Structure 1
Amino acid sequence: MLEQVYAVQGARGGWDGDFSMRVSTAGVGTVGLERVCWQGAPAGGVGEHPGVLRVGQVLAGTVDVSSGRDALVCQGPFLLPQGPYLSRWEGLDILTASLDAAVVRDQARALLGSETLRLEFTGAIPVSPALGRFWSAGLTHLGRTLQSGDEVMSNPLLRAEMTRSLVTALLHTFPNSFLERLRAPVPAPRIGSGGVRRAVAFIDAHLSEPIGLAEIAAAARMSPRGLQAAFRREKETTPLGYLRAGRLEAAHADLVAADPATGVSVAVIAARWGFAHPGRFAAAYRDRYGQAPSATLHT
């Protein structure tokens, strides 16, 4: 089971006495979530999962990972090595997220507007405690959403947004070459280029589709970073901020038009427009419209 789910081979340990292992898995898009609860004697094994980026979150117990000369006592979120590694665990309860490395690379290239970026992760620990907490919160929310079996997960826009959000969080949480390129100066956008106008038209026409910064920048005929700088200058927001505002307005229109007697809910309408977190949707809605979305629905 460890080999099938975690690509851990040759697990060894002392099997005398009580032992139990519980494993559960779920997934959305190209993201997989796995949880294992191991009780019994300490054990260890060899892991390697080429083509997959796996981030662990220790909930209880201990796990140590070593690769070459590097050793890691895993606490909080951590990125497992890309090559072969040895691991040893005891009394372990761990949640892991598995992401397709090619998908992560492609999104990093799209965010930078660079088809030649060689994405390399250079550290296993979050770049800051705040980003570590941000990653953990996002992973916990995704896990609860998947485990709930809620019908909103049948929405392709919601699935795409949740996958995109987790990949983006990964790119910003752990040290990598994408972050290094991101810190480089951005060339000043050309005045009157028309890129922002083209981007706005594209966003307005595709609010209900799973679009992101890469698609918007392509429609604007600008680099993603150049478009973001131009948007901040001309619109005092970002392309994705404008996209979220447009979707919030569309959700508001649906809430106004909906008949609560039909059984429609705020959560379903929010998910229809790509808002995966009900609490964040309600807060954004209240900031914009001065009341809770449920109040609009039942007015």
Structure 2
Amino acid sequence: MGRAELESNVDTIKATGQSMIAATLESIYEMNGSRIWLDRVDGEAELRVERLHLNGITIDDLYLPARIRFEVDVATTLGMAWTTGGVMDCISVPGKPVHATMGSVWAPCEPNSGYYGRAENLSVRAVNISVAAIRAVAGIPEGESNPFRLLSLVSEQSNLTFAWARRVQYVQTILRGGPPRTDLVADTLHRDLISGALSVLPNTYAHAIPHREVHGYVGSRTMDRALGYLREHVAEPVRLSDLAVAVGISGRSLQYAFARRYGVSPMTYLSMMRMEHAHSDLVTAQAGDGTTVALVGARWGWSKPSHFAAAYLRRYHVRPSETLRAAKRNLTYQDFLLDSSLRNFYNMGFER
């Protein structure tokens, strides 16, 4: 049947047995509708979680020496994970793949979304943050319709990844010495951790800096005009200077505004938009319609098929030719992704 133990006011959580591990994971991570299967257990596998609390944020060190499969219908919080051991392959709904190995910083999905996949001997340091806390620190007024979205689930900038890992370690070191002595210290650590989370993965919210106190602040209407221009000209050659003239501000201000709000430059944001269009063309292709990888890449701004293929592989962790073949076979994209992801998983040396 298994067992679960909670020690030191939920500072340490332990569980053994398939049903108890699954129930414990669902309970501590608020995963609604989760299903977890243990495919292989090293001896009597024991889930171990050390949990620290900070003004509603939880910071966990998790270790599970087993191979598991999982499906999660809804994850209600933003889960930021730093892999310290093992490997995980998962796919968020609706179809963003994540391949996480040692040193990766990633999120399995956006808040209030689901994901599924497999993990092997997973060891992670996970920070779980509510959307309400993110909105408060990012300065989003209550009631404003501005949903939080992640533009990427994996950090691809090594300096930000390293900075995030060190930030989490620093906060853990302080909390292990006991609760912060003053509300000011707790609030500072809380805001620092959330602003760090917003900086490591590109997203639709600004960093935790009051807008009107920032020199060169670019307002939401100007940003809306910039995004509208990019959408209208997404299939055309666009330079930073073109965008700056269209919205009436300097290129430098645009660079700063996009970095602050989305974590990427305007041209990188445009490239991401084009890649989403290219991805859509590939997954909706039909047998006999003449769609090729080269044509799709050229349509969305890649003059060399090899450059498009490399960029697509970095973004989706599968080759565009594989996506196209699956579409023409009428294989659903989610089924194809999971099959491809798990084949890559086993190709890394793990036996069934």
TM-score, normalised with respect to structure 2:
0.48
CA drift of 1:106 comes to 2.7
Aligned with 1:21 (options 25, 28, 47):
47
Q: Which residue of 2 aligns with 1:105?
A: 135
Aligned with 2:187 (options 160, 166, 175):
160
Does residue 47 in structure 1 map to residue 72 in structure 2?
A: yes
CA drift of 1:69 comes to 2.7
What secondary structure, in the 3-state scheme, does the structure 2 residue paired with 1:105 have?
A: helix
Does residue 147 in structure 1 map to residue 147 in structure 2?
A: no
CA contact (8 A) 1:109 1:117 kept: no
Please list, as runs of the form range in 1=range in 2, the aligned pairs for 1:188-267 lying within 5 A after superposition. 213-214=209-210, 224-225=211-212, 227-229=213-215
Tell me how far apart the structure 2 counterparts of residues 114 and 132 of structure 1 sit (CA, whole Å): 32
CA gap of 1:117–1:23, structure 2 versus 1, over 3 A, is same
Q: Which residue of 1 aligns with 2:152?
A: 123
What secondary structure, in the 3-state scheme, does the structure 2 residue paired with 1:177 have?
A: coil
CA gap of 1:49–1:154, structure 2 versus 1, over 3 A, is farther
Q: Which residue of 1 aligns with 2:204?
A: 177
Q: Which residue of 1 aligns with 2:62?
A: 36
Aligned with 1:62 (options 78, 87, 105):
87
Q: Which residue of 1 aligns with 2:29?
A: 6
Tell me how far apart the structure 2 counterparts of residues 26 and 228 of structure 1 sit (CA, whole Å): 33
Tell me how far apart the structure 1 counterparts of residues 42 and 162 of structure 2 sit (CA, whole Å): 37
CA drift of 1:118 comes to 3.2
CA contact (8 A) 1:108 1:119 kept: no
Q: 1:164 corresponds to which letter in structure 2?
A: R
Count residues with an aligned counterpart. 186
Q: 1:228 corresponds to which letter in structure 2?
A: V
CA contact (8 A) 1:79 1:125 kept: yes
List 4+ stretches of structure 1 deviating above 4 A: 112-116
CA drift of 1:115 comes to 4.4
CA contact (8 A) 1:11 1:46 kept: yes
Q: Which residue of 2 aligns with 1:288?
A: none
CA gap of 1:51–1:20, structure 2 versus 1, over 3 A, is closer
CA contact (8 A) 2:89 2:117 kept: yes
CA contact (8 A) 1:127 1:175 kept: no
Does residue 95 in structure 1 map to residue 125 in structure 2?
A: yes
Tell me how far apart the structure 2 counterparts of residues 127 and 114 of structure 1 sit (CA, whole Å): 32
Tell me how far apart the structure 1 counterparts of residues 156 and 86 of structure 2 sit (CA, whole Å): 24
Q: 1:229 corresponds to which letter in structure 2?
A: H
Tell me how far apart the structure 2 counterparts of residues 88 and 142 of structure 1 sit (CA, whole Å): 29
CA drift of 1:89 comes to 1.2
Q: 1:70 corresponds to which letter in structure 2?
A: K
CA drift of 1:103 comes to 1.5
CA drift of 1:113 comes to 11
Tell me how far apart the structure 2 counterparts of residues 164 and 38 of structure 1 sit (CA, whole Å): 30
CA contact (8 A) 2:35 2:70 kept: yes
Tell me how far apart the structure 1 counterparts of residues 142 and 214 of structure 2 sit (CA, whole Å): 12
CA contact (8 A) 2:61 2:126 kept: yes
Q: 1:47 corresponds to which letter in structure 2?
A: V
CA drift of 1:148 comes to 2.5
Larger RCO: Structure 1 or Structure 2 (Cα < 8 Å, ≥ 6 residues apart)?
1
CA drift of 1:38 comes to 0.9
CA drift of 1:213 comes to 4.9
CA contact (8 A) 1:109 1:116 kept: no
Q: Which residue of 1 aligns with 2:97?
A: 71
Q: Percentage identity across aligned positions?
A: 15
CA drift of 1:87 comes to 3.1
CA drift of 1:141 comes to 1.1
What secondary structure, in the 3-state scheme, does the structure 2 residue paired with 1:154 have?
A: coil
CA drift of 1:109 comes to 3.1
Tell me how far apart the structure 2 counterparts of residues 16 and 97 of structure 1 sit (CA, whole Å): 26
Q: Which residue of 1 aligns with 2:332?
A: none
Tell me how far apart the structure 2 counterparts of residues 144 and 34 of structure 1 sit (CA, whole Å): 13
TM-score, normalised with respect to structure 1:
0.56
**Structure 1 residues without counterparts, runs of 5 or longer:** 183-211, 215-223, 232-299
Tell me how far apart the structure 2 counterparts of residues 132 and 117 of structure 1 sit (CA, whole Å): 26
CA offsets per residue over residues 201-253 of structure 1, 9 Å max, x none? xxxxxxxxxxx854xxxxxxxxx24x32189xxxxxxxxxxxxxxxxxxxxxx
Does residue 136 in structure 1 map to residue 159 in structure 2?
A: no
